[in-house]
Chains A and B, each alone.
Chain A
């Protein structure tokens, strides 16, 4: 089943959420940007006792969150992060949303301004299936996790694992932890982010901080 309501997020999101939750200290203040219907945020509130807030673009998503008792504000990463004060949160989380933002570099800077740390997860466009799809079919890749045709996808800024690490370097952002998720669900935790990771990694999750 493909869930269309959470536009920018792949359908099997539980692994992603669990890995993000592992990166978050209990009792911290957390902002989930693009929190959809609040699944991750509720999970963090319940299992990590965080003081959680969210930003979500769709009214349906906000309503679902509000009905769950979550404090969620309608808005988006591109426009509304600037409204938050510096260091307002311990963690700013951007789960499966970076590729849907208009100005990813600016969003990354904002994440690490409002959050002391940031957790960012995204699909790796250099995953071998994407490469093979493009190489063999000559068409824009569509996988289970990326099931939109190019003309209707909300994912306008795909990047690869290496694109992302290069961006972090250019923005003076430090990678504290990394988890690369392979297709079979195997995890590569804090390992090499070299050629192999960029080829077999389907999903990437990073804990980031500002370079001191």
Chain B
């Protein structure tokens, strides 16, 4: 049990008088609260600037956007790198195991704190989408609409497998020190970088990799027949790994991937996903991507099927793209169109337009 937690969050736009225009943006595994503002560690622009801003789909002239760092994260919300008041040292593996449900409960406390009776919309992709579904499961009356993107109501065996590879890479790094690396002033950089590299491949698609890199060589005319990064794709992955390590806490990575693994909404309802959504008045817009093999369309269709069985208001679209799972973070015009159309019509029915 944890008594005090800190929540770090950013807001964009202005909350209206009725407090009816608030949108909660839920971030993915390695995302953070800097959805539409500069990330302080990397200096890069926010991860969802394609969606959030004046005149954009999540229009900051119209909506009040809230994005918080998830529980267990490492960008300000309480997580394993924070000091355990009982020991005076970083939590490390003494941090309690967390679930997607815990993350959403923490967000609901933030909602109370901001005195927002119900979100106009809860939206997110991947693990963000899991949070959206958990909101609909646990706090349906507190979200008017929900947009789960490229996600699933349970983590698949394949996805658990990939996460386990990542965690083992972190824990196999001698600098992990049984999770106590902060006390020794080291960091399992290599392990976390490998975890990120393996995970990153799952965010793309075969055709996207081919289109981006093919078998192109990196800064050289010919193969070196060694273990240097001869190929552009190798160089790209190494870059992804190295950069990730600077901005992410290895134990956070363990805890958050585990939270995803444990996610299974149907299990909490005797195996029936439909039961989770029974009586829900929330309007749903479910989005998947044709080339996403991490959270394939079949997973989204399971959610749609359950929502239909629960007689919920649901729209669903599978976007044709070769960008893979990452499509929700990229400029995918059909996604922007679908979500924009859904939000506009939903805003009208809420009297926001």
Contact = CB atoms under 8 A, between A and B. Distances in A.
Contact of B342 (A67, A73, A83): A67
18 contacts: A59-B338, A62-B316, A63-B334, A64-B341, A65-B315, A66-B342, A66-B345, A67-B344, A69-B348, A69-B349, A70-B315, A71-B315, A73-B308, A73-B314, A73-B316, A74-B317, A84-B308, A84-B309
B304 interface: yes
A88 interface: yes
B301 A72 contact: no
Interface in B306-353: 308-309, 311, 313-320, 334, 337-338, 340-342, 344-346, 348-349
B315 A59 contact: no
A85 B308 contact: yes
Interface of A: 29, 53, 59, 62-75, 83-85, 88
B323 to A, nearest CB: 15
Given A72-B315, A85-B309, 20 more contacts: A59-B317, A59-B318, A62-B316, A63-B341, A64-B341, A65-B315, A66-B317, A66-B341, A66-B342, A67-B340, A67-B341, A71-B283, A71-B313, A71-B314, A73-B304, A73-B314, A75-B316, A83-B301, A83-B304, A88-B308
B254 interface: no
Most buried by B among A59, A70, A74, A83: A74
A59 B342 CA distance: 13
Nearest to A74: B317
A14 to B, nearest CB: 23
Contacts of B334: 59, 63
Given A73-B314, A85-B309, A66 B283 contact: no
A88 B312 CA distance: 11
B342 A74 contact: no
Contact of A73 (B315, B341, B344, B346): B315
Contacts of A59: 317-320, 334, 338
Contacts of B315: 62, 65-66, 70-73
Nearest to B288: A74
A88 B308 CA distance: 8
Nearest to B306: A83
Contacts of B308: 53, 73, 83-85, 88
* Complex A-B, nearest 5 residue pairs according to Cβ-Cβ distance, in ascending order: A67-B341, A69-B345, A73-B316, A83-B305, A71-B313
Interface of B: 283, 285, 301, 304-305, 308-309, 311, 313-320, 334, 337-338, 340-342, 344-346, 348-349
Contact of B337 (A53, A63, A83): A63
Q: Which of B305, B316, B337 has the most CB of A within 10 A?
A: B316
B281 to A, nearest CB: 12
A53 to B, nearest CB: 8
A53 B308 CA distance: 10
A73 B305 CA distance: 10
Contacts of B348: 69
B153 to A, nearest CB: 15
Contacts of A66: 285, 315, 317, 338, 341-342, 345
Given A63-B334, A63-B341, A66-B341, A74 B349 contact: no
Contacts of B317: 59, 62-63, 66, 74
A150 B201 CA distance: 44
A6 to B, nearest CB: 17
A91 B341 CA distance: 27
Contacts of B337: 63
A64 B304 CA distance: 19
Contact of A68 (B283, B305, B311, B345): B345
A210 to B, nearest CB: 21
Given A71-B314, A74-B318, A83-B308, A62 B349 contact: no
A68 B245 CA distance: 45
A46 to B, nearest CB: 14
A109 B316 CA distance: 24
Contacts of B319: 59
A130 to B, nearest CB: 35
Contacts of A71: 283, 313-315
A84 B301 CA distance: 12
Nearest to B304: A73
Contacts of A88: 308-309, 311
Contacts of A84: 308-309
Contacts of A65: 315
Nearest to A65: B315
Contacts of B314: 71, 73
Contacts of A67: 340-342, 344-345
Contacts of B346: 69
A70 B346 CA distance: 10
Contacts of B305: 83
